[in-house]
Amino acid sequence: MNGVWIVTGIAFAFSVLLTILTTLFSKKEIEEEDIIKHLPGYNCGVCGFGSCSGMAKAILEDPRNYEKCRPMRKKEKEAFQKYLEEKGLWK
Protein backbone atom coordinates (compact mmCIF):
# COMPACT_ATOMS: atom_id res chain seq x y z
CA MET A 1 0.00 0.00 0.00
CA ASN A 2 2.89 2.37 0.78
CA GLY A 3 4.26 1.79 -2.74
CA VAL A 4 1.11 3.30 -4.26
CA TRP A 5 1.50 6.44 -2.17
CA ILE A 6 5.17 6.75 -3.07
CA VAL A 7 4.49 6.39 -6.82
CA THR A 8 1.57 8.84 -6.56
CA GLY A 9 3.80 11.34 -4.72
CA ILE A 10 6.58 11.05 -7.30
CA ALA A 11 4.09 11.50 -10.16
CA PHE A 12 2.63 14.58 -8.45
CA ALA A 13 6.10 16.07 -7.88
CA PHE A 14 7.02 15.56 -11.56
CA SER A 15 3.78 17.15 -12.74
CA VAL A 16 4.43 20.23 -10.56
CA LEU A 17 8.01 20.47 -11.85
CA LEU A 18 6.84 20.12 -15.48
CA THR A 19 4.22 22.84 -14.98
CA ILE A 20 6.80 25.22 -13.50
CA LEU A 21 9.31 24.62 -16.34
CA THR A 22 6.64 25.04 -19.02
CA THR A 23 5.50 28.31 -17.45
CA LEU A 24 9.06 29.67 -17.25
CA PHE A 25 9.95 28.90 -20.88
CA SER A 26 6.68 30.05 -22.42
CA LYS A 27 6.76 33.27 -20.35
CA LYS A 28 10.05 34.35 -21.94
CA GLU A 29 8.66 33.84 -25.48
CA ILE A 30 5.56 35.83 -24.66
CA GLU A 31 7.62 38.65 -23.18
CA GLU A 32 9.79 38.89 -26.31
CA GLU A 33 6.70 39.03 -28.54
CA ASP A 34 5.14 41.56 -26.18
CA ILE A 35 8.25 43.75 -26.31
CA ILE A 36 8.34 43.70 -30.11
CA LYS A 37 4.78 45.06 -30.16
CA HIS A 38 5.96 48.11 -28.20
CA LEU A 39 8.87 48.92 -30.54
CA PRO A 40 8.46 51.16 -33.63
CA GLY A 41 8.90 48.19 -35.99
CA TYR A 42 11.09 49.94 -38.59
CA ASN A 43 13.80 47.24 -38.35
CA CYS A 44 16.27 50.00 -39.23
CA GLY A 45 19.09 48.62 -37.06
CA VAL A 46 20.10 52.07 -35.77
CA CYS A 47 20.02 50.65 -32.22
CA GLY A 48 22.89 48.32 -33.11
CA PHE A 49 20.90 45.12 -32.60
CA GLY A 50 20.08 44.57 -36.28
CA SER A 51 16.31 44.60 -35.99
CA CYS A 52 13.45 45.18 -33.56
CA SER A 53 13.57 41.46 -32.76
CA GLY A 54 17.25 41.79 -31.88
CA MET A 55 16.40 44.78 -29.71
CA ALA A 56 13.69 42.77 -27.90
CA LYS A 57 16.27 40.08 -27.05
CA ALA A 58 18.71 42.77 -25.90
CA ILE A 59 16.03 44.33 -23.69
CA LEU A 60 15.46 40.98 -21.98
CA GLU A 61 19.19 40.91 -21.16
CA ASP A 62 19.36 44.59 -20.13
CA PRO A 63 16.13 46.66 -20.09
CA ARG A 64 18.10 49.92 -20.50
CA ASN A 65 18.91 48.93 -24.08
CA TYR A 66 15.54 50.36 -25.18
CA GLU A 67 17.13 53.83 -24.84
CA LYS A 68 19.22 53.03 -27.96
CA CYS A 69 16.14 53.06 -30.19
CA ARG A 70 16.37 56.44 -31.96
CA PRO A 71 13.00 56.39 -33.78
CA MET A 72 11.16 55.93 -30.46
CA ARG A 73 9.96 59.33 -29.24
CA LYS A 74 10.20 60.61 -25.66
CA LYS A 75 6.54 59.89 -24.82
CA GLU A 76 6.82 56.37 -26.28
CA LYS A 77 9.99 55.77 -24.27
CA GLU A 78 8.26 56.89 -21.06
CA ALA A 79 5.31 54.60 -21.78
CA PHE A 80 7.68 51.74 -22.63
CA GLN A 81 9.62 52.21 -19.38
CA LYS A 82 6.32 52.11 -17.49
CA TYR A 83 5.46 48.86 -19.31
CA LEU A 84 8.86 47.38 -18.32
CA GLU A 85 8.23 48.40 -14.71
CA GLU A 86 4.80 46.75 -14.73
CA LYS A 87 6.32 43.55 -16.13
CA GLY A 88 9.00 43.62 -13.44
CA LEU A 89 11.79 43.94 -16.03
CA TRP A 90 12.90 47.42 -14.97
CA LYS A 91 15.20 47.46 -11.95
Applying CB under 6 A, the residues found at the interface with ligand SF4 are 39-40, 42-47, 49, 51-52, 55, 69-72
The burial of 48, by beta-carbon neighbours within 10 Å (0-12 exposed, 13-18 middle, 19 or more buried), is given as exposed
In whole angstroms, the minimum distance from the beta carbon of 65 to ligand SF4 comes to 9
Q: Cβ 15 to ligand SF4, closest distance in Å?
A: 40
Q: What is the nearest approach in angstroms of ligand SF4 to the Cβ of residue 49?
A: 6
Q: Which is nearer to ligand SF4, 49 or 83 (CB)?
A: 49
User: Which residues contact residue 81 at a Cβ distance below 8 angstroms, ignoring those fewer than 6 apart?
Assistant: 66, 90
Distance CA 16, CA 54 (A): 33
